[in-house]
């Protein structure tokens, strides 16, 4: 494998941080071995993986192993051939130990599917190598898992539709290779932030792809090359690819702060934050298992930029999906890219609103250095001082679309307040108008589309004499809106 040294060093730095270890020690230990792991070969027939059927009462203990070829181990481990079977597959490791998320995911799966078989695929010995070597090893490990699936089906007659592989980082590609090498397709593969280095842009036979299962769904949480960092794969590689928060910055993971601290603390400052970014995919999936009654919703959209404008919140023609366990396949010719916003902690669900605001003015002026602040008031609570992302300049007699997110369900919307805050440089520029002639940027009506309920509501200025955004403008539901809508429907039917 031809890996440029510069890229390889940074891959090891970044990916070592995912394991929550000292990056300095890991690099020292690995690089001072004269690359002997590159020449490591196993004896013929020696297994790369072990298959531990964990128990609901002991989700973090390996007390019963299923051994391919030994039918009695299925009986000894109480394998249920009529229930769903999950194969949880970890990723690259420096420590040679399971991360804490493994037991949490096992427990969450049993919480949702009481009678299931949750099998943890242990390839720690093989994964504990230089990243490039571990990435190569996914081929052999995946083939071995594929043979395990064939043996399970042949021995127990379990329907393959009931087999669900869940792979994290490199483990996602192991799952894909397993699916492609099994004699028949398994029901589902979930890729939790599949690894990017050495897999971005390669042929489908070397990575997870939609061909590997009847349904392949992906959660991308640390991709896109943000600030030069990309641990997860950016390209869509499933039937449904969901990019929470654009697939880059995750709320609560202070990546920018870590970059600022590198000068003081070195690359160790990246340790926890990089782990936080990629591992968020696992916790989003766990959240979907534990909080299935109120799942997060994702929306089909051409790009993250379009989604940030709020223009993709319609659910018609299967343009919406559920994040995590209850995601469903959308039957389209190519991968469907979907986006959602989340909170910083579990439960991650938020509520999405599109605000379409029409700005008017008496003169042809535009505003470029400004910040819109909105406050929503509903039957269940309030969400105040929320910033709207203003992209470019706001022109007069134009309609702009904004995405607004609330962390809590505020219920039915009753009132909205809107204010534009100008930067100090803009105020200085407008000083000639300041004595009595303030910037005449007005809003009289706001149309709101609610993603979670798929409902539209229109708000009008409470006081038509006070619509200048230099001051806070209050909006309430427009009167007789329902009558106009009824008349339009009546005319269309005639």
- The annotated binding site is made up of 207, 212
- The annotated binding site for Ca(2+) is made up of 207, 212
Cβ neighbours of residue 164 closer than 8 Å, sequence gap 6 or more: 84, 85, 86, 87, 186, 187, 188, 189, 190
Residue 90 CB-half CA count within 13 A: 31
Of residues 224, 199, 222, the one with CA closest to residue 142: 199
What is the rounded CA–CA span in Å between residue 385 and residue 417? Answer: 9
Of residues 452, 357, 461, the one with CA closest to residue 409: 452
Residue holding tokens 């490791």?
Answer: 93
CB 280 within 8 A of CB 244: yes
């Amino acid at each position: 494998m031809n890996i440029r040294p510069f890229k390889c060093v940074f891959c090891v730095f970044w990916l070592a941080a995912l394991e929550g270890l000292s990056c300095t020690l890991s690099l020292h230990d690995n690089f001072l071995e004269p690359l002997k792991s590159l020449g490591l070969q196993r004896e013929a027939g020696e297994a790369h993986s072990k298959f531990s059927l964990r128990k609901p009462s002991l989700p973090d203990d390996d007390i019963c192993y299923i051994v391919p070829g030994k039918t009695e181990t299925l009986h000894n481990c109480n394998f249920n051939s009529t229930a769903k079977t999950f194969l949880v597959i970890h990723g690259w490791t420096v420590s040679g130990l399971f991360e804490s998320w493994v037991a949490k995911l096992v427990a969450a799966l049993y919480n949702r599917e009481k009678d299931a078989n949750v099998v943890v695929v242990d390839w720690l010995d093989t994964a504990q190598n230089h990243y490039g070597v571990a990435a190569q090893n996914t081929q052999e490990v995946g083939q071995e898992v594929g043979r395990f699936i064939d043996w399970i089906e042949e021995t127990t007659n379990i329907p393959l539709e009931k087999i669900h592989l869940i792979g994290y980082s490199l483990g996602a590609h192991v799952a894909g290779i397993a699916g492609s090498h099994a004699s028949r397709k398994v029901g589902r593969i979930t890729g939790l932030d599949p690894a990017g280095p050495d897999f971005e842009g390669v042929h489908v036979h070397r990575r997870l792809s939609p061909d590997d299962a009847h349904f392949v769904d992906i959660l991308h949480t640390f991709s896109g090359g943000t600030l030069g960092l990309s641990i997860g794969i950016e390209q869509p590689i499933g039937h449904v690819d969901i990019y929470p928060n654009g697939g880059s910055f995750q709320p609560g993971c202070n990546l920018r702060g870590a970059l600022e601290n590198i000068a003081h603390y070195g690359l160790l400052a990246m340790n926890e934050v990089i782990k936080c970014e990629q591992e968020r995919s696992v916790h989003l999936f766990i959240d979907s298992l534990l909080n299935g009654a109120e799942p997060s919703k994702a929306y089909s959209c051409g790009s993250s930029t379009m989604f940030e404008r709020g223009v993709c919140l319609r659910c018609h023609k299967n343009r919406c999906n559920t994040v995590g366990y209850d995601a469903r396949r959308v039957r389209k010719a190519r991968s469907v890219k979907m986006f959602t916003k989340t909170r910083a902690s579990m439960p991650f669900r938020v509520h999405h609103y599109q605000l379409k605001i029409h700005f008017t003015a008496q003169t042809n002026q535009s505003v470029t250095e400004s910040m819109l602040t909105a406050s929503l008031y509903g039957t269940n609570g309030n969400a105040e001082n929320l910033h709207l992302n203003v992209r470019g300049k706001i022109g007069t007699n134009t309609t702009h679309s904004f995405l607004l997110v609330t962390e809590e369900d505020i219920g039915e919307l009753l009132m909205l307040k809107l204010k534009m805050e100008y930067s100090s440089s803009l105020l200085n520029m407008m000083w000639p108008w300041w004595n009595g002639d303030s910037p005449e940027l007005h809003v009289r009506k706001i149309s709101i589309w609610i993603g979670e309920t798929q409902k539209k509501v229109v708000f009008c200025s409470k006081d038509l004499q006070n619509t200048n955004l230099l001051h806070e403008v209050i909006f309430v539901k427009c009167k007789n809106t329902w009558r106009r809508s009824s008349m339009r429907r009546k005319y269309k039917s005639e």
